[in-house]
């Protein structure tokens, strides 16, 4: 059986704009949420999905990559990075009512934003964000949109209206097939994200970012944010710490120290 | 006991129940009046004895899914049981490929949130709370559900010790998957041959990071691991850089390890890494930056260049 080659492919990529992991911030003792005051950046985990989307559109010979993001304070700096890589446009949901959203609330917002982004053949996400790392959002979005899904993709190829995906497993990988449209989460490190060119960075400044409020998406404020979160942090406690170890400067004897330490533990 | 019925999502390979499943059963039976499993393999009869010996009284088995990925069909099956009034009050999933898929799907089916990255559970005033490490495990947040819906927890491996209860084989009951659930299908499996112990089970783990300098230097980690009968691991930085596959990754993304000895070579100790290894019994760190956070958890820290220390160490160990 021969399938019509897809010559036009629209890919939506969910991206998160997060505080720089080099400066992870702190916990607000009153609200018990992460304090996110500094500038946000594109979560590196999402750069792989953006790269893969660009490659798939290239391979199809037409179409575009649309970004979807939810962020406070109309933040676009992370989106601009992905637009500079080559994404065509973005939908940004920014609304004070979203503060305190849990993974399920976040998924409800992203699912609506994906619908607003237009007809997609494929939706890509990271396997988890670097700051919240619940890892449930991809499947939650897929279920909300009624789509088939594959998580932990190492590679994606499109054959007609089918996606063929290599999925990471405990012991290797599985070859998976599913019909499009589908949602796929992409394992970090499986492609090399391109660096934005100077031209790309300049072009990104004028690419359209459709900023919306939850009302524009038809979302009831009681289902998201603090109001909608079905969970609540009741306490933040200091975890037990390890006793301080012996830290020495290597003067050529570091190796002997390690050998003696391993001998003492009887592992050698 | 206030939590009446807990279901544990059971996973198994070739008739061998996954360690994470047994760990969850050990904890579940201290918390719930009834502990049962839900399972999607064709061999529920085979694993029922092991599940029973670890405290499950029943296995709700969907049978073989014909290659379908578990997320959508299993979530639909559990949700149908909940809607019919036969479901659990609480469901435990391991933080595994399939566990996360089913938990996420079920969350939407039931419009119920998930408490994720759980390393401990407590019964507080009759309801369960989850303990989750943040900021590299320096702090724990304790989270409760504020709805009366089915409570879904995603539990990190190695949080509890697997222990037999001496129970009889679990009874096997059929859990039907509702008709018309479409899922992606596995058409072929590839098992990568690996020599030496697995990262999960090794008594000694040797991990390398960005401090090695370049991809070729990772060979030193493999050599050292081989010499020690250890499993080689990696920081997220070098996995993302494509030096080694994702299956090598130790950290909050990736594997949680708790070996007798963990050797971190050229790893600075980002939050994301510490969460995955700070439970190790003994930690040796080699890093040239004296301020590297890895030294805060090290029992023995060597401030020095891994490219000088490792070759000498490998040579010294081989000479023994």
What would the pLDDT profile of B230-268 be if each residue is shown by its tens digit? Answer: 999 999 999 989 899 888 999 988 899 999 999 999 999
Nearest CA in chain B to A144: B108
For residue A116, give the nearest of A14, A226, A8 by alpha carbon: A14
pLDDT at position A1 is 45
For residues A79 and A15, the answer to whether their CB atoms sit within 8 Å is yes
8 Å CB contact between B204 and B228: yes
Q: Does A170 sit within 8 Å of B97, measured CB to CB?
A: yes
* pLDDT tier for residue A36 given thresholds of 50, 70 and 90: low
CA distances from B210 to A80, A258, B12, B259, B294 (A): 28, 21, 35, 22, 13
Q: Digits of tens for pLDDT over chain B (320 positions)? A: 468 999 999 999 999 999 999 999 999 999 999 999 999 999 999 999 999 999 999 999 999 999 999 999 999 999 999 999 999 999 999 999 999 999 999 999 999 999 999 999 999 988 999 999 887 778 899 999 999 999 999 999 999 999 999 999 999 999 999 999 999 999 999 998 777 899 988 999 999 999 999 999 999 999 999 999 999 999 999 998 989 988 899 998 889 999 999 999 999 999 889 989 999 999 999 999 999 999 999 999 999 999 999 999 999 999 98
**Beta bridge mates, B280:** none
List of chain A residues whose C-beta atoms are within 8 Å of the C-beta of residue B203? 267
Q: For residue A3, is pLDDT > 60?
A: no
Quote the CA–CA distance of B39 and B62 in Å, as a whole number.
Answer: 6
CA A141 – CA A136 distance, rounded (Å) = 9
Structure tokens at A190: 């499986």
| Token reading at B211 | 């401090």
The answer to whether B180 faces chain A, any CB pair under 8 Å, is: no
Which of A24, A44, A135 to substitute to test the interface with B, most B CBs within 10 Å? A135
Q: For position A241, what pLDDT does the model report?
A: 82
Could you give the C-alpha distances from A30 to A33, A35, A125, B122, B142, in angstroms and in order?
8, 11, 32, 23, 14
> Is the pLDDT at A219 greater than 60, yes or no?
yes
Q: Which helix (H) or strand (E) holds B276?
A: helix B271-277
Which token pair is A113? Answer: 């934003």
pLDDT, position B2? 65
Nearest to A237 among B95, B142, B186 (CB): B142
Neighbours of B67 (CB within 10 A): 15
Beta carbons of A239 and B138 less than 8 Å apart: yes
Does residue B46 contact residue B15 with C-beta atoms inside 8 Å? yes
In chain B, positions 9-28, which contact chain A (CB-CB < 8 Å)? 13
Give every CB contact of residue B203 below 8 A, 6+ residues apart in sequence.
A267, B197, B229, B230, B259, B260, B261
What CA–CA distance (Å, rounded) separates B227 from B120?
35
Torsion of CA B250, B251, B256, B260, to 10 degrees: 60
Closest CA to B157 of B71, B243, B255: B255
Nearest CA in chain B to A241: B138
Other CB atoms within a 10 A radius of the CB of residue A21 amount to 16
Query: Which residues on A lie below 8 Å from B273 (Cβ)?
Result: none
| Overall average pLDDT of the A143-165 stretch | 97
CA nearest B291 in A: which residue? A247
Confirm if A214 and A228 have CB atoms less than 8 A apart: no
- The minimum CA-CA distance between B187 and chain A, rounded to whole Å, is 6
CB-nearest to B261 from A175, A247, A267 is: A267
Q: Does A31 touch chain B (CB under 8 A)?
A: no
For residues B209 and B268, is the Cβ–Cβ distance under 8 A?
A: yes
- Residue A119's CB is within 10 A of a number of other CB atoms, namely 8
d(CA B84, CA A229) in angstroms, rounded, equals 25
Band (A4; pLDDT cuts 50, 70, 90): low
**Distance (Å, whole) CA B155 – CA B171:** 25
If you count them, how many residues does chain A have? 268
Q: Which of B187, B171, B160 is nearest to B28 (CA)?
A: B160
Mean pLDDT score, A109-134: 95
- Residue in chain B lying closest to A138 (CA): B104
Nearest residue of chain A to residue B298 (CA atoms)? A245
> Residue B46 and residue B51: Cα distance in Å, rounded?
10
- Tell me B255's DSSP state: B
Chain A segment 183-222 residues within 8 A of B by beta carbon are 187-190, 192
The distance of B72 to chain A (nearest Cα, Å) reads 8
Interchain proximity B185–A235, CB inside 8 Å: no
Would you call B186 and A174 a contact, using CB atoms and an 8 Å cutoff?
Answer: yes
Is B49 buried (19+), middle (13-18) or exposed (0-12) by CB count in 10 A? Answer: middle
Sorted by sequence, the CB contacts under 8 Å of residue B201 that are 6+ apart come out as B19, B231
Picking from B159, B142, B183, the residue whose alpha carbon sits closest to that of residue B94 is B159
User: Would an 8 Å CB–CB cutoff place B109 in contact with chain A?
Assistant: yes
On whether any CB of chain A is under 8 Å from the CB of B173, the answer is no
Integer CA distances (angstroms), A228 to A112, A232, B53, B112, in order: 16, 11, 40, 10
Best mutation target, B17, B77, B104, B247, to test chain A (most A CBs within 10 A): B104
Element (H, E) at B80: helix B71-83
Q: Is the pLDDT of residue A91 over 70?
A: yes
Whether residues B139 and A173 touch (CB distance < 8 A) is answered with: no
Nearest CB among A152, A170, A237 relative to B139 is that of A237
b/e map B136-165, b = 16+ CB within 10 Å: bbbebbbbbbeeeebbbbbbbbbbbebeee
Coil/strand/helix, residue A5: coil
Tally of helices (H runs) and strands (E runs) in chain A: 7, 15
At A199 the three-state DSSP class reads: helix
Cα separation, A92 vs A216, in Å, equals 11
Query: Which phi-psi region, left, alpha or beta, contains residue B250 (left: φ > 0; alpha: ψ -120 to 50)?
Result: beta
Contact status, residue A83 vs residue A58, Cβ threshold 8 Å: no
- Residue A238's Cβ-count burial label (10 Å; 0-12, 13-18, 19+) is exposed
Instruction: Check residue B144 and give its pLDDT.
Output: 96
Name the closest residue on chain A to residue B297, using Cα atoms.
A242
Is A156 in the B-facing interface, judged by CB distances under 8 Å? no
Rounded-to-integer distance, Cα B200 and Cα B218, Å: 20
Whether the CB of B168 is below 8 Å from some CB of chain A: the reply is no
Beta-carbon pairs below 8 A across chains A and B: 266
- The string over B244-283, giving b where at least 16 C-beta atoms fall within 10 Å of a residue's C-beta and e elsewhere, is bbbbbbbbbbbbbbbbebbbbbbbbbbbbbbbbbbbbebb
Confirm or reject contact between B301 and chain A (CB < 8 A): yes
Q: From B281, which residue of chain A is nearest by alpha-carbon distance?
A: A242
Which tokens belong to B235? 């920081």
A95 pLDDT higher than 90: yes
Which of 112-141 (A) contact B at CB < 8 A? 127-128, 130, 133-140
Rounded CA separation A28/A22 (Å): 18
CA distances for A168 relative to A162, B247, B254, angstroms: 19, 8, 11
Q: In which band, very low, low, confident or very high, does the pLDDT at A64 lie, cut at 50, 70 and 90?
A: very high
pLDDT at A6 over 70: no
Asked if the Cβ–Cβ distance from A188 to B149 is below 8 Å, we say no
Each residue's pLDDT tens digit, A163-189: 999 999 988 899 999 999 999 999 988
In contact, A109 and A219? CB cutoff 8 Å: yes
Q: Do A177 and B101 lie within an 8 Å CB cutoff?
A: no
Whether A152 and B97 lie within 8 Å, measured CB to CB: yes
Angle at the Cα of B207 from the Cα atoms of B238 and B154, rounded to 5 degrees: 80
């Amino acid at each position: 059986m021969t399938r019509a080659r897809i010559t036009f492919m629209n890919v939506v990529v969910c991206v998160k704009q997060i505080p720089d992991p080099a400066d992870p911030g702190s916990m607000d003792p009153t609200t018990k949420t992460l304090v996110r005051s500094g500038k946000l950046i594109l979560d590196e985990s999402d750069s792989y999905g953006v790269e893969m989307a660009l490659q798939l559109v290239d391979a199809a010979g037409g179409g575009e990559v649309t970004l979807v993001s939810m962020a406070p304070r109309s933040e676009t700096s992370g989106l601009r990075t992905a637009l500079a890589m080559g994404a065509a446009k973005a939908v940004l949901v920014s609304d004070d009512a979203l503060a305190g959203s849990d993974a399920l609330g976040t998924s409800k917002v992203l699912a609506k934003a994906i619908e607003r982004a237009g007809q997609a053949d494929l939706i890509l996400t990271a396997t988890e964000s670097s700051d919240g790392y619940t890892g449930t959002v991809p499947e939650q979005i897929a279920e909300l949109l009624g789509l088939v899904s594959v998580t932990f993709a190492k590679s994606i190829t499109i054959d007609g209206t089918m996606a063929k995906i290599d999925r990471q497993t405990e012991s290797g990988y599985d070859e998976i097939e599913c019909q499009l449209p589908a949602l796929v989460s992409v394992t970090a490190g499986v492609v090399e994200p391109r660096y934005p060119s100077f031209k790309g960075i300049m072009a990104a400044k004028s690419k359209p970012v459709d900023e919306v409020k939850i009302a524009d998406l038809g979302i009831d404020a009681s289902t998201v944010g603090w109001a909608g979160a079905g969970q609540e942090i009741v306490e933040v406690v200091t975890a037990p710490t390890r006793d301080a170890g012996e830290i020495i400067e290597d003067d050529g004897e570091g190796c002997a120290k390690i050998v003696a330490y391993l001998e003492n533990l009887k592992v050698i | 006991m206030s939590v009446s019925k807990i279901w544990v999502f059971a996973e198994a390979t070739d008739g061998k129940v996954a360690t994470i499943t047994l760990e969850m059963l050990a904890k579940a039976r201290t918390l719930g009046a009834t502990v049962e499993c839900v399972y999607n393999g064709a061999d529920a009869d085979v694993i029922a004895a092991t599940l029973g010996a670890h405290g499950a009284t029943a296995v709700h088995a969907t049978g073989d899914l014909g290659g379908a990925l578990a997320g959508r069909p299993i979530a639909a099956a559990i949700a149908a049981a909940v809607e019919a009034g036969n479901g659990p009050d609480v469901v435990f999933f391991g933080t595994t490929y399939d566990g996360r898929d089913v938990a996420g799907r079920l969350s939407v089916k039931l419009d119920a949130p998930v408490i994720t990255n759980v390393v401990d559970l407590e019964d507080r005033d009759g309801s369960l709370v989850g303990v989750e490490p943040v900021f590299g495990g320096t702090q724990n947040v304790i989270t409760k559900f504020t709805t009366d819906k089915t409570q879904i927890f995603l539990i990190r491996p190695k949080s509890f010790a697997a222990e037999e209860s001496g129970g009889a084989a679990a009874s096997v009951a059929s859990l039907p998957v509702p008709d018309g659930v479409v899922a992606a299908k596995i058409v072929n499996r590839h098992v990568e041959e690996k020599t030496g112990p697995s990262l999960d089970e090794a008594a000694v783990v040797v991990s390398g990071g960005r401090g090695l300098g370049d991809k070729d230097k990772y060979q030193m980690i493999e050599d050292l691991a081989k010499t020690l009968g250890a499993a080689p691991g990696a920081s997220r930085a070098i996995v993302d850089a494509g030096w080694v596959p994702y299956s090598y990754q130790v950290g909050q993304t990736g594997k949680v390890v708790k070996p007798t000895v963990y050797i971190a070579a050229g790893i600075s100790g980002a939050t994301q890494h510490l969460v995955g290894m700070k439970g190790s019994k003994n930690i040796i760190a080699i890093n040239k930056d004296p301020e590297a956070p890895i030294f805060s958890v090290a029992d023995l820290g060597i401030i020095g260049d891994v490219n000088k220390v490792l070759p000498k160490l490998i040579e010294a160990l081989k000479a023994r």
